[in-house]
Amino acid sequence: MSSILSSDHFHNEEAAYAYVEKRLWPDGPVCFHCGATEEHVSKLKGKSTRVGLYKCYACRKPFTVKMGTVMESSHVPLRIWLQAIYLMNSSKKGISTRQLQRTFRVGLKTAWFLSHRIREAMKDLHIDETGPFGGEGKIVEADETYIGGKEKYKHRSRRTSRVGGAGKEVVFALVERGGKVRSRHVPEVSAKTLRPIMKAQIDHKSFLVTDDAGQYRSWISTATRS
């Protein structure tokens, strides 16, 4: 039994470039500058040549597979990029910049650069963040949670046994199954606070899945009449 992190492309720089090239250039290398294909492109193999460098004989410019990606203009080895991408995508609860720093034994600025570039690459550029989501036949889930320190660390006058707890902040989230997620801070959990958000963010043809709290029942009855 072997770990997936034991694969060659996570430890060998040449294997890392071959791994990325196979996925970004399935039909052979393509010049980043002019778009020339394999017949006009040659891989440079000199002893002093850096790994993964190609030269285009159509426009006579060098390029690598990293150009045009979030890894461009980075001195971080490609194998480290691949490890960081794997860790950030396979960690159910995500991975912090500090954890990347400890894992790769790099400076905080390098770890911050890696994490923010990778998160930027994970963004869906086609999502419309302004209009409602969901729609006919789609399911949207709604719920709220309370964010804050542990009760035992709070001042005695702020401790409480009820759900939510004094001193905690409320975060309201909408999740489209198999799709987008939107969350925001709200001052309180009430129909007055949540109904305007749901009305603006959820297509009324959607199926709403949530608990039986009063703030959701009032929205459902309104949506049914509309």
Confirm if 65 and 53 have CB atoms less than 8 A apart: no
The residues with which 174 forms a beta bridge, in sequence order, are: 142, 182
**Within 10 A of 217 (CB to CB), how many other CB atoms are there?**
13
pLDDT in tens, 133-181: 788 888 999 888 887 766 665 554 544 444 455 567 888 998 988 778 8
How many Å apart are CA 164 and CA 147, to the nearest integer?
A: 9
121 — alpha (psi -120 to 50), left (phi > 0) or beta? Answer: alpha
Q: What is the DSSP letter of 200?
A: H
- Residue ranges of the alpha helices (H) in 93-205? 97-104, 108-121, 191-201
Paired tokens of 163: 């759900």
Burial of 100 from C-beta contacts in 10 A (0-12 / 13-18 / 19+): buried
In terms of pLDDT, which residue wins out, 45 or 56?
Answer: 56
pLDDT in tens, 87-142: 999 988 888 999 999 999 999 999 999 999 998 888 765 555 667 878 888 899 98
> Residue 37 carries which side chain, given as an amino acid letter?
T
pTM of the predicted model, to two decimals?
Answer: 0.60
pLDDT at res. 17: 96
> Residue 194 carries which side chain, given as an amino acid letter?
L
